[in-house]
Amino acid sequence: MEQLPNMRLTTQRQIILEELGKVTSHPTANEVYDMVRKRLPRIGLGTVYRNLELMADSGIILKLEVGGTQKRFDATVAPHYHVRCTSCGKVDDIDIEVQSQINQVAENSSNYMILGHHIEFSGICPKCLEEKKALSLH
């Protein structure tokens, strides 16, 4: 069995990683559970949740904690930004250059040792925009 940083790559973890890597929708633990259950019908939600938390704590995946919403998980660990729909809660990656110089600016003005930053844009996704347009036409 392969190794992950600081942990063994169990069959359950491998399948969780594979399923998470197939999507860019930043699924919740429940959504990952639904995906994984198709391949491991006897796996429990608690097992999926614990493994997601362990892998996030180890830096293998990202855990997105968006104010007041369920935690979401991301297989892309390289620095990148997200955009969240304020209507439906969908989270997508946004393809813009990471502004690494902002870390130094923040460090200079705060006296903190800045380790990184997370920026999330908010807006309305194309699907919700279409639905709003359709509603306004009726």
Ranges 20-34, 43-57, 89-103: which has the least confidence: 89-103
Q: Give the pLDDT of residue 9.
A: 83
Kindly report the pTM of this predicted structure.
0.78
Over residues 52-59, the mean pLDDT reads 93
- Same-domain status, 119 and 102: yes
Among residues 74, 101, 122, the one where a domain terminates is 74
Among residues 74, 90, 109, the one where a domain terminates is 74
Tell me which residue range forms the domain holding 113: 79-137
CATH of the domain at 87: 3.30.1490.190
Average pLDDT, the chain: 90
Percent of the chain with pLDDT over 90: 64
Q: Give the pLDDT of residue 118.
A: 84
- Same-domain status, 69 and 86: no
Q: Which two tokens stand for residue 46?
A: 């608690």
Q: Give the pLDDT of residue 101.
A: 92
Among residues 44, 74, 104, the one where a domain terminates is 74
- Same-domain status, 6 and 40: yes
- Distance, in Å, from the CA atom of 28 to the CA atom of 44, rounded to the nearest integer, reads 15
- Same-domain status, 58 and 88: no
Order of strands, edge to edge, in the sheet holding 120-123? 91-94, 81-85, 120-123
